[in-house]
């Protein structure tokens, strides 16, 4: 499990609550029709596809509620080796102080 920044909305998400951000091995599970621009990006549970490839509904399209949704300046954070968010420019890992 690790934290990442959603590439669409910029919020903090955990791989455990977003099917790994819908990337990697999880990507093939979803119906990307009309969402082609999102494919391959790390997505939070709100931005993730709402339909699986087999036509059944995912629970995505809404926040999971496992923790508070925190938005950060988009594109400014990466996941470091410890699985935490790190500010790309400063290397700081206390992402909460960048919350917007
Ligand atoms: Zn998002």
The SS3 call for residue 13 is: strand
- pLDDT score recorded for residue 60: 98
Q: What is the pLDDT along the chain (100 residues), one digit of tens a residue?
A: 899 999 999 999 999 999 999 999 999 999 999 999 999 999 999 999 999 999 999 999 999 999 999 999 999 999 999 999 999 999 999 999 999 9
Q: What is the pTM of this model?
A: 0.95
From the CA of 81, how far away is ligand 1's center (Å)?
A: 22
For residue 91, how far is its CA from the centre of ligand 1 (angstroms)?
22
> Which helix (H) or strand (E) covers residue 6, if one does?
none
Ligand 1 mean position, distance from CA 36 (Å)? 15
Compute, in angstroms, the gap from residue 45 CA to the centroid of ligand 1: 7
DSSP state at residue 15: G
Distance 62 CA to ligand 1 centre (A): 10
Query: Cβ(3)–Cβ(85) under 8 Å?
Result: yes
- Domain range for 48 is 1-100
The pLDDT value given to residue 1: 85
DSSP code, position 56: P
What is the number of domains present in the chain? 1
**Do residues 66 and 12 make contact, with C-beta atoms less than 8 angstroms apart?**
no
């Amino acid at each position: 499990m690790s934290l990442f920044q959603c590439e669409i909305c910029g919020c903090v998400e955990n791989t455990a609550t977003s099917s790994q951000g819908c990337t990697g091995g999880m990507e093939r599970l979803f119906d990307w029709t009309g969402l082609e621009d999102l494919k391959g990006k790390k997505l939070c549970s709100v931005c993730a596809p709402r339909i699986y490839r087999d036509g059944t509904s995912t629970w995505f399209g809404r926040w999971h509620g496992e923790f508070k949704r925190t938005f950060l300046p988009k594109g400014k954070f990466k996941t470091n080796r410890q699985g935490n968010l790190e500010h790309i420019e400063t290397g700081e890992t206390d992402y909460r102080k960048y919350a917007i």
